[in-house]
A and B are shown apart, each in its own frame.
Chain A
Amino acid sequence: MHTLLQRIQQTFSVGVTGLTEWRGDVAVTVSRDKLHEVAQFLRNDPGMDFDYIVHVSSVDWPDDEERFEVVWEFYSIRKRHRIRLKTRVPESDCVADSLTDLWKGADFMEREVFDMMGIRFRNHPDLRRILMPDDYTEGYPLRKDFPLRGKGWRDTFDFLDEVPR
């Protein structure tokens, strides 16, 4: 097992639900209530030292009980290693802790996740839509139940058979 994962496993006896390493990418899945604590550890622990935020993303798994997966990716410029931090949130209560207090760059990235997937971030300073218009009410585009090829409006258009002269 990767040394980073070992460290995390030793430090957090509860709350860490998955440790994976695939194609050289190291990923940790934590339960939602432990998220901020683990993130703080990743940021401040001298052995971890993840000072650089790479991206915040989200994945929709409609068939799962906890439907949404929120993904943060961090890099350590001094230690030169990467880690992916993941957590799951259910659809009925899709709220995760914001990590903007640790990485300021998370501000816009989390706003994008909110905009695209509808996941709310607790303690986010300015949680508004970022790419879609502010008054957009038709849902969250990257959810799997958002239609990929339009909503069928075009099928309901009336066409005139013949232009009256």
Chain B
Amino acid sequence: MAFEDQRTTVYKIVNPEHPGSETLPTLRTEELLLNMGPQHPSTHGVLKVILELEGERLVKSTPVMGYLHRGVEKLAEDGTYHQFIPHTDRLDYVCAMYNNFAYCRAVEKLLNLQVPERAEYLRTIVAEVQRIIGHQFWLSAQALDIGAMTVFFYCFRDREILLDWFDELCGARLTTSWYRIGGVERDLTPTLIDKLKQFLDYFPPKIDEYQVFLERNRIWLGRTKGVAVISAEDAVNFGLSGPVLRGSGVDYDLRKYEPYSAYPKCEFSVPVGKNGDTYDRYWIRVMELYESVKIIRQCLEQMQEGPIMADVPSVTLPPKERVFTNLEAMIQQFKLFSQGFDAPPGEIYCGTEAHKGELGFYIVSTGGGKPYRLKIRAPSFVHMGAFDHMARGYMISDACTIFGTYDVVMGECDR
């Protein structure tokens, strides 16, 4: 026979009671290699996974990444700290604001820069709006992967409101670049605040609506409950973070563990799952939508008037109005963008709780205007490391569910 492959197992059925049974054809099982992706729609970008199958069960899966590798870490070494902000938008292009936030926080830690209080509130508000967008996007994509299409339309309808709000805030829907080192680019106008308040009243009933679609859907429950289970110990050992880790019952959330920005001044809870399956991770994300609404409400109430940018002329950008009217401000702007500011030599790591998990920046500086080395700790990349462990023994169709449950965005994974 031609099947000399090591993966082939041949079962010869011989029954002693039936003479001549040894001449019957043999039953042959064979491990099958299946390439899923890179063009598969449920891989959220361009990810290939080589699945080793036995029947329809996954025996081993090997993610093949790098189709979207653009060398962002290398590019960072070529530009000033300010010039890297737009690059961070393109990491996790679904949630640009949170990448900006994480990066600016890391540089501020390097510079030991204090951000004014109003700017902290603004940052928190916009970051939570971004979290809502991220979770809506995740929910719609996950439901679509599993075959529930309606949720997709409902989520995108509401997501559109917030994207328009971003458009009005900074002129871009997705690649926002609104955060600046030392503050934010511009303040919320009264119209924007009104619109956001309207949305906060409008949104919670809509979350209930999403839940009704899914939680009473037997197919959805069957395909999420008990699928891709990971124990708390393993999840921690793999370095998983965000809802994927919290689904396993570990309440690791940097907003609580290492409070930053305006989060310590807000009251909110961190939902934690029990079973560590896909359903628990879904439930956590939905509950976080309610928490985000709560945080934004509190921030809008507590926020006082004040400056939105730290006043450290050697580092922070001057207000745009002054650049056009004042010579010194113009020189300051020009110098900051052509040479950058002089960062102290040293190295820092700063992690921020993005909606996918811990998004961290490790910056090594040797002084001067450019980072010497910048490493991005992308949650999607770390999560892909646990794919094989979590997918083992499930069906091919569950592979789509597992990509989805991580909320991978390949722009961030491959960088």
Contact = CB atoms under 8 A, between A and B. Distances in A.
B386 interface: yes
B66 interface: yes
A133 B414 CA distance: 12
Nearest to B345: A22
| B74, B257, B375, B381 interface centre (most CB from chain A within 10 Å) | B375
B239 A131 contact: no
A60 B373 contact: yes
B385 A108 contact: yes
Given A23-B110, A82-B349, A141-B71, A59 B236 contact: no
Interface in B74-114: 74, 77-78, 109-110, 112
Of the four ranges (under 10, 10 to 19, 20 to 34, 35 or more), the interface on chain A belongs to 35 or more
B348 A141 contact: no
Interface string B334-355: 0000000000001111010000
Interface of A: 22-23, 25, 27, 51-55, 57, 59-60, 71, 73, 77, 80, 82, 84, 103-109, 112, 116, 129-133, 141-142, 146, 148-149
B377 interface: yes
A132 B66 contact: yes
Contacts of A104: 234, 237-238, 385-386, 389
A105 B238 contact: yes
Given A27-B347, A105-B237, A130 B66 contact: yes
A55 B377 contact: yes
B234 A55 contact: no
Given A77-B252, A105-B237, A25 B77 contact: no
Contact of A57 (B78, B234, B362): B362
Contacts of A27: 347
A80 B348 CA distance: 17
B382 A131 contact: no
B385 A107 contact: yes
A132 B69 contact: yes
Nearest to B238: A105
| B258, B360, B373 interface centre (most CB from chain A within 10 Å) | B373
A105 B385 contact: yes
Given A60-B373, A77-B250, 20 more contacts: A52-B239, A54-B377, A71-B375, A73-B349, A73-B377, A77-B252, A80-B257, A80-B258, A104-B238, A104-B385, A104-B386, A109-B382, A112-B381, A116-B73, A130-B65, A131-B65, A131-B69, A131-B414, A142-B373, A149-B78
B360 A22 contact: no
A55 B362 contact: yes
28 contacts: A22-B347, A23-B110, A23-B112, A23-B346, A27-B347, A53-B237, A54-B351, A57-B373, A59-B372, A71-B362, A73-B377, A82-B349, A84-B347, A84-B349, A104-B386, A104-B389, A105-B239, A105-B382, A107-B385, A108-B382, A108-B384, A109-B239, A109-B381, A112-B381, A130-B66, A141-B74, A148-B78, A149-B78
Interface string B287-309: 00000000000000000000000
B358 interface: yes
Contact of A77 (B74, B77, B236): B236
Nearest to A102: B237
A74 to B, nearest CB: 9
A23 B109 contact: yes
A88 to B, nearest CB: 14
Contacts of A82: 349
A26 to B, nearest CB: 10
B144 to A, nearest CB: 27
Contacts of A132: 66, 69
A71 to B, nearest CB: 7
Contacts of A107: 385
Contacts of A23: 109-110, 112, 346, 348
A106 B237 CA distance: 9
Interface string B363-401: 010000000110101000110111001000000000000
A59 B381 contact: no
Interface in B247-273: 250, 252, 257-258
Contacts of A60: 373
A129 B64 CA distance: 10
Nearest to B415: A131
A118 to B, nearest CB: 14
Instruction: Kindly list the 4 A-B residue pairs having the minimum CB-CB distance in the complex, ordered from nearest.
Output: A105-B239, A108-B385, A131-B66, A55-B377
Contacts of A57: 362, 373, 375
Given A52-B236, A149-B78, A25 B349 contact: yes
Nearest to A147: B74
